[in-house]
Structure 1
Amino acid sequence: MSDLPLRLPIQKTLFECFLLYSFGITVELLFRLIGPPKLGYFCNDLSISFTSKSSIVNGFELAAFVYCCSFFPILFVELYRLLKYDPEVCFSMMERGYNKISRLAIRVVVFFGYCQVAIVFTWALTSVTKFSIGRPRPYFLWICNSTYTCASNYSTEYVSPDKYECQGNALYVQEARLSFFSGHSSLALASATYAVLYLQARMPPKLFSRLLTPLFQFIIFASGLFVAYSRVVDHNHHPTDVLCGVIVGI
């Protein structure tokens, strides 16, 4: 058998990454062009009568969490395995003949790549569901500024979709119809769950303490739940939206 290293499929990997994210972006843009359905509401529905608040975890912070909570555990665990735990053991035939830096890069790309598949598919599923159902967010009535005037806030009258128009900003109104299910919850838990399972499979058993692995797993998973719970506190989602998002993410 030749000891020459195998040629790394860099172009193929980049193409697959491009294809994967092109799929996710296409799904998102397509459904945004179609828009969510317009639903009616009850005048006394307090669940959609909250005011809008700033997100505790904004979109940029969510993206940072989703990628970092899986990337850094993979990087540190594989680095430890290469330097201390099993430096001579190759994870795959692709590593043979390469130095440790190249082997580390190969492992990170492989494991982080699997995580990207989970994240993009979760993102696509979330977008399909949000735009198909069109459930109003807790602050819907505040941002909508409906043209229909209810007799009172305690009236049980149902306002059908053909009876009202929203006078608020069109983009904000569309966003206010995307409550179910929580994208923050599904994406955060998808990444956190992958990281927890990865640590269970790849964290070396011979560490300073047996508690390290479950401790790291708890911190990552609890952080994902914090992101999910924050969506109820800042009035962006109903509790059932978050619960469903957590289940989908897991």
Structure 2
Amino acid sequence: MHTFKRGFFCSDLSLRYPYRECTVTVPMLLVLMLLLPMLFISVVEIMRNCRHLRMRKYLRSLWRAEATFSFGFIATYLTTELGKHVLSRLRPHFYSACQPRLQDGSSCADAHNAELYVERFYCSNRNLSSLQLRELHVSFPSAHSSLSFYSMCLLAYYVHSVWQGRGIVRVMRHILQFLLLMAAWYVSLSRIADYWHHWSDVLAGALLGVVYATITAIYVGDLLQPQSSKTRPLMGLMCGCQHHHHHLHHQLLGENNNSTGSAKVHFLASTTTASSPLECVAHHGNDDDADDDDDDDSIVEHDLAGYKTPTSRAPTPSLPNAV
């Protein structure tokens, strides 16, 4: 893609910062924000399947997690590069690195060019390569900031999804999430301290990374809904149990009309419907999500098998003067 060549004001002091080497270079960024997160996901997936480790199941879950991370990472990178080439904002060390000259050979140090907006210029620093010249025009947004915040935020969402627990486990999870965000914060601040980006470049990159991480976690990886998917089968099980016992209640009441022992049957029906939903959920609430439908059917079959249609009973002789 051809980079748009933006002009500048000779009096713009935000472009006159000194040139410094990067604290976090591009290879370091790829290792910290791409290779290490993918290795971290691989190790976590092994720990999740360590009890019943099956290679096919592990590879399937690993592929799903790695593909989710890679999709968002590539989308964030492409969006960042598009913004860099379209806007072509100059870096804070533009003057020091480029040493621009106007077409007539004058420079911004001349008095008559103090308030001039320069569009046609060339860099007098012959020590710069074509790649370094291109890097002077791609300040907004910060790729270091967007990629680091995307990787660390998505890992924080991933840890929140797979690492469930209470007490000290929950505290350790939050500490790990905090450290991940601090790593992204450090990389972003280093770009301002090294005079490679303006603060607005870093802010835009950070927001871009957070937005893409959130979108990827919600719509691609389903990382922000770990508990709702677990509670839905439980609610369905409760509704199924209540509906089943409600049906038994009406069945018992219908049979009571043909029998003389209505008081006893009414008592049995009321106790069954009052306590059965909680007992049903307590007994079957810890099953896996994949077996919820089978468990729901087995509950109905078990209760129907255990229930016997009351046979005709001998009429109970009424006691005289019964209260």
Per the alignment, residue 22 of structure 2 pairs with 55
Per the alignment, residue 141 of structure 1 pairs with 95
Go from structure 1 to structure 2 and tell me whether the alpha carbon gap of 1:37 and 1:153 turns closer, same or farther (over 3 Å shift). Answer: farther
Aligned 1:98-177 pairs, distance under 5 A: 99-148=53-102, 149-151=107-109, 156-162=114-120, 164-168=121-125, 169=128, 170-177=130-137
* Percent identity (aligned): 25
Shift of 1:158: 2.3
Per-residue CA distance 1:222-246 (angstroms, 9 max, x = gap): 1011111110011110000000000
Partner secondary structure for residue 211 of structure 1: helix
Matched AA of 1:199: V
Matched AA of 1:128: L
Shift of 1:144: 1.5
Matched AA of 2:89: R
Which structure has the larger Rg over C-alpha atoms?
2
Go from structure 1 to structure 2 and tell me whether the alpha carbon gap of 1:153 and 1:122 turns closer, same or farther (over 3 Å shift). Answer: farther
Cα RMSD of the aligned pairs, angstroms, is: 2.1
Matched AA of 2:97: I
Higher relative contact order (CA 8 A, sep 6+): 1
* TM-score when normalising by structure 1: 0.74
Matched AA of 1:50: Y
Partner secondary structure for residue 236 of structure 1: coil
* TM-score when normalising by structure 2: 0.58
Residue from 129, 144, 151 that aligns with 1:191: 151
Per-residue CA distance 1:170-191 (angstroms, 9 max, x = gap): 3322110100000000011111
Contact 1:69 1:191 in 2 (8 A): no
Gaps of 5+ in 1: 1-30, 88-98
Per the alignment, residue 90 of structure 1 pairs with none
Q: Distance in 2 between matches of 1:50 and 1:110?
A: 45
Aligned 1:1-250 pairs, distance under 5 A: 31=1, 34=2, 36-83=3-50, 87=52, 99-148=53-102, 149-151=107-109, 156-162=114-120, 164-168=121-125, 169=128, 170-205=130-165, 208-250=168-210
The number of equivalent residue pairs is: 203
